[in-house]
Amino acid sequence: MSPADPFAPVLAALQARPGAYLVAIAGIPGSGKTTFSAGLASRLPGAVVLPMDGYHLPRAQLGAEGLRRRGAAHTFDPAALRADLQRLCAARCGTFPAFDHAEQDPRPGSIRVNASTPLVIIEGLYLLLRDWQLAALFDFTVFLDCDLATALDRVTARHLACGLAATLEAARHRAESNDRLNAEAIFADGCRERADLVLR
């Protein structure tokens, strides 16, 4: 591993924790959680990535305000995520939902963790949120610390690219009126400070 290897601190921490099984990658919107988790999994043969996005409440369950604020903590099902992770800790296998970006809804039973899976990487915004009561389930937690302006620029581009917004102006408005609030809530809750490792 070179000094510039972005995964080196996590890999070193996991080497020091040979029994680690559930690893959380948290951060604000646009901090790079999905990309980082995929890259980390590629360095850990057999590891499976489990995105928190699979626990979005279905669009059919959300009213107009829920759809406008989709991505906020109250538009997820933390109880289902907690129950699934508790079962995973006990059984070391199971099936879990993914998020279908075309349908913009969860897709149940899409991710499989087998008894031979050595490590599960859970990635998402609110994994360290106090009210969600998940932190005790993780063997190691990482917070990707990203400048808020940079993160919102990334989110704006993503909203435009995936069709959540038709224009750059609409994408920026969604980022500022929704994702900024979500990021501020994560910072205010102290998620960054509670992580085992903070990575820029």
What does the pLDDT read at residue 102? 72
Which residues does the chain have with pLDDT short of 50?
Answer: 1-2
Does the CA dihedral 126-132-136-139 come out positive or negative?
negative
In a 3-state reduction of DSSP, which class is residue 120? Answer: strand
What does the pLDDT read at residue 127? 98
Q: What digits encode the pLDDT tens for the residues 11-46?
A: 999 999 999 999 999 999 999 999 999 999 999 999
What does the pLDDT read at residue 3? 53
Superfamily of domain 19-145: P-loop containing nucleotide triphosphate hydrolases (3.40.50.300)
What does the pLDDT read at residue 1? 44
In a 3-state reduction of DSSP, which class is residue 141? Answer: strand
